[in-house]
Amino acid sequence: MTRFANKTALVAGGGRDIGRACALKLASDGARVAVTYYGSAEGAEQCVAAIVAQGGQAIAIKADLTKMADALNAVEQTVKAFGQLDVLVHVSGGLIARKSLVDMDESFWRQVMDVNLTSLFNLTKVAVPAMGEGGSIVTFASQAGRDGGGPGALAYATSKGAVMTFSRGLAKELGPRIRVNSVCPGMISTGFHDTFTKPEVRERVAGATPLKREGSSEEVANLVSFLASDEASFITGVCYDINGGILNS
């Protein structure tokens, strides 16, 4: 498929799981791809190698996106390598740890907000001037942003709710030149849940969905590719649920 022929995509957090799947999908659909990573260098390099092996073009860029200088460097390196920037997919983020209000301090709160929200602000701030007419941004919120998340996810859920609002507001600011949409994954089979969610909880949640299973990173990537493409040319400011039907808003 050539959805993104002669187009360049920057995938923030492309070294693992959903981010890696997004990078691979965009590349298979014709895009030149830059992936950023911070703690997953090996995964990012493997992602790039996989794209190149299939005849695509890709580079990996180390970046701490909570720092504006690193975000700017990521955009500059992308444009230097490929000449333009058409699609931005911001997957970077994380739960950090499960902590209730009484257990967390200000430092932890700020860390979660920086990883999930400040990184998005920084990257969009420097990417938007480099993007042309018809560009597309896809952000990553979460089902937690819809329903408040599970135990110990207060800070994470709050940050993801903010990502949804940021995306809606940005869509209004950037239209009609650039479209902005957000994806809200539910229980997806990733390292995130391997680390932070107990197996019995995963089994219970998956069983409660109408589809009776967890989702895959590739299924999320398929949605991202559609939203970033011209096939979604009249879609902007929308937060898309992908959770097997367990929550629809």
Domain assignment present for residue 248? The answer is no
Q: Where are the beta strands (DSSP E) in the chain?
A: 8-12, 32-37, 58-62, 85-90, 131-140, 178-185, 239-242
Residue at 143: amino acid letter: Q
Question: Could you tell me the sign of the dihedral formed by the alpha carbons of 6, 7, 8, 14, in that order?
Answer: negative
Spatial separation of the C-alpha atoms in residues 176 and 237, rounded to whole Å = 11
Q: Tens digits of per-residue pLDDT, 155-187?
A: 999 999 999 999 999 999 999 999 999 999 998
Domain assignment present for residue 31? The answer is yes
Spatial separation of the C-alpha atoms in residues 168 and 84, rounded to whole Å = 25
Whether 196 shows a pLDDT value over 80: the answer reads no
What's residue 104's pLDDT? 97
How many structural domains comprise the chain?
A: 1
Spatial separation of the C-alpha atoms in residues 117 and 161, rounded to whole Å = 10
Q: Which residues contact 11 (CB under 8 A, 6 or more apart)?
A: 19, 22, 23, 26, 33, 34, 35, 36, 89, 91
- Looking at residue 101, which CATH number applies to its domain? 3.40.50.720
pTM, two decimals, is 0.95
Domain assignment present for residue 63? The answer is yes
**Structure-token match 């589809």, residue found:** 211
Which two three-digit tokens encode residue 46?
A: 């493997």
What's residue 206's pLDDT? 84
Whether 1 shows a pLDDT value over 80: the answer reads no
Q: What is the DSSP annotation of 6-72?
A: T-EEEEETTTSHHHHHHHHHHHHTT-EEEEEESS-HHHHHHHHHHHHHTT--EEEEE--TTSHHHHH
List, in sequence order, every residue forming a beta bridge with 61; answer none if it has no partner.
36
Spatial separation of the C-alpha atoms in residues 121 and 144, rounded to whole Å = 20
Domain assignment present for residue 249? The answer is no
Domain assignment present for residue 125? The answer is yes
Spatial separation of the C-alpha atoms in residues 18 and 190, rounded to whole Å = 8
Domain assignment present for residue 1? The answer is no
Domain assignment present for residue 3? The answer is no
Domain span at 78: 8-242
What are the residue numbers of the active site?
A: 156
Spatial separation of the C-alpha atoms in residues 66 and 244, rounded to whole Å = 32
What's residue 95's pLDDT? 93
What's residue 2's pLDDT? 87
Spatial separation of the C-alpha atoms in residues 114 and 126, rounded to whole Å = 16
Domain assignment present for residue 2? The answer is no
Confidence of residue 93 (pLDDT cuts 50, 70, 90): very high
